[in-house]
Structure 1
Amino acid sequence: MARHIYDKELTALLVVDPYNDFISEGGKAWGRIRAVAEANDCVPHMLQVLKAARDAELRVFYALHRRYRPGDYETWKYLAPIQKLAWERRIFEYGTWGGELHPGFEPKPGEIVATEHWCSSGFANTDLDLQLKKHGIHQLIVIGLIAHTCIEATVRFAAELGYEVTLVRDATADYSDEEMHAALDVNLPSYASVIVTTHELVGLLSSV
């Protein structure tokens, strides 16, 4: 891996959807993600990256999926399949344990939680781009769930908006190895400037 430099005035960590429903035992989607997430130690790696970013005094931003509330989709005329599934399963339901963040991912004072996204991209129809620009951020380090949906959509959108993106490949997970491969090895190398492991990233942040 080529040496990559992170300027803490320009760089932020973006944490995507660390909900109990995704990454906690008993979560609505955990059964589908578990095999991949446990094979690459996704959750411990996400926590390790979060700690390293905080230790390096990087700003931390959260891009969180809309937590289902009654009435969200009932009157919509057009739903994407992923939104229909969220409606049917009440995933990340507001006011429930599944819609809370996995222990250890609670935002600290001064960390920014963007408005919730309705589909997959953390940028679409939210204030994330505004918040990043107002804080002078140009480089993003991205971790979270799920590789071929919200992570891929958010990284692609970030590239369209001119951000330089680092993706941490073992700090994300998916429903299958095939979907992980499609996202991390086929699609995202066209959009993420750097794709690294947690070990590599922590080493780079230690010198920030």
Structure 2
Amino acid sequence: MKKLTLVSIVLLFANQIFAQLPDPGFEVDAKTAIVITDPQNDFLSPEGATWGVVGESVMSNNTVENLDQLFKIAKEENITVFVSPHYYFKHDHNWQIEGSLEALMHKINMFNRTGVLTTVGFENSGADWLKQYKKYIGETNVIVTSPHKVYGPESNDLALQLRKHGFDNVILAGMSANLCTESHMRDLVESGFKVAVVKDATAAAILPGLNGYEAALVNFQMIASHVFTTEEIVTEIKNFKKQ
């Protein structure tokens, strides 16, 4: 029999522990809100700027329909939804410091708007909401925050709006999984919110050797309080409202 070294014993013990990560769980209550990142054409429409790299993941996860289910159950059960959008204006294209995907987004004119104080050219643009979500986003239970500028909500008022409205718990979904969605999860967790992620109500780019969705799933599991499917969280919301 092969003799176990101290290092191999430690590694074996560590593998046993991490093979059974604790699941803190997540219960829907009166202080729970839904947060949806970037439900916009450039991510979710076949005509969108990123469809060539995110389309496979969006279709595989049934992301468009699953997000629709979240908007729908929120409307039916009067759950507050916060939409955190991504917009770029003319002055944003003068940035001198950019990461890889920031540079790409500016290059392909992703989420472009003509101006901060105008909606000229916004309707049906890449920055606009996916058409089927408009009937929900215009409702009184939906709050649209100021835009985030890179990936996380550090640059917008999402956390402020959640706190001012008395919410402690967040059901998180939207686009894209390993960028804005994951960044929102990380910042909200570090801001003291309890966060659950809906893993099939998001998607991400798939490139040669780079699968953004698979990368995000690892971090959702390691960081969030719980990871739901859309079917599971819809059931949780319905059960809470029956109480």
Query: TM-score scaled to structure 1, two decimals?
Result: 0.91
Which consecutive residues of structure 2, in runs of 5 or more, have no partner in the other structure? 1-22, 114-120
1:73 is displaced (CA, Å) by 2.5
CA RMSD of aligned residues (A): 1.8
Q: Quick one: which of 92, 102, 108 aligns to 1:72?
A: 92
What is the Cα deviation at residue 68 of structure 1?
A: 2.3
Q: Distance in 1 between matches of 2:171 and 2:182?
A: 13
Q: 1:25, 1:193 → 2: CA distance?
A: 33
Counterpart contact for 1:155–1:192, Cα < 8 Å: yes
**Is 1:98 paired with 2:103?**
no
Corresponding position: 1:165 with 2:195: yes
TM-score by length of 2: 0.79
**AA at the equivalent of 1:87:** H
Alignment of 1:26-45 (within 5 A): 26-45=47-66
**Structure 1 letter corresponding to 2:159:** D
Mapped contact 1:12–1:61 kept (Cα < 8 A): yes
**Could you tell me whether the CA contact under 8 Å between 2:197 and 2:226 is conserved in 1?**
yes
Find the partner of 1:118 among 143, 149, 158.
Answer: 149
Partner residue, 1:190: 222
Aligned sequence identity (%)? 31
Report the secondary structure of 1:136's partner residue.
coil
User: Would you say the 8 A contact 1:68–1:86 is kept in 2?
Assistant: no
Moved more, 147-156 or 106-115: 106-115
- How far has the Cα of 1:83 moved from its partner? 2.0
Provide structure 1 residue ranges, at least 5 long, that are not aligned to the other structure: none
The CA deviation at 1:77 is 2.6
Query: How many residues align structurally?
Result: 203
Larger radius of gyration: 2
Q: Deviations over 1:71-117 (max 9, x none)?
A: 3232x332222221221111011134111100132312352111101
* Residue 179 of structure 1: how far off its partner (Å): 2.1
Asked if 1:83 is matched to 2:102, the reply is yes
Whole-Å separation in 1 of the counterparts to 2:26 and 2:49: 37
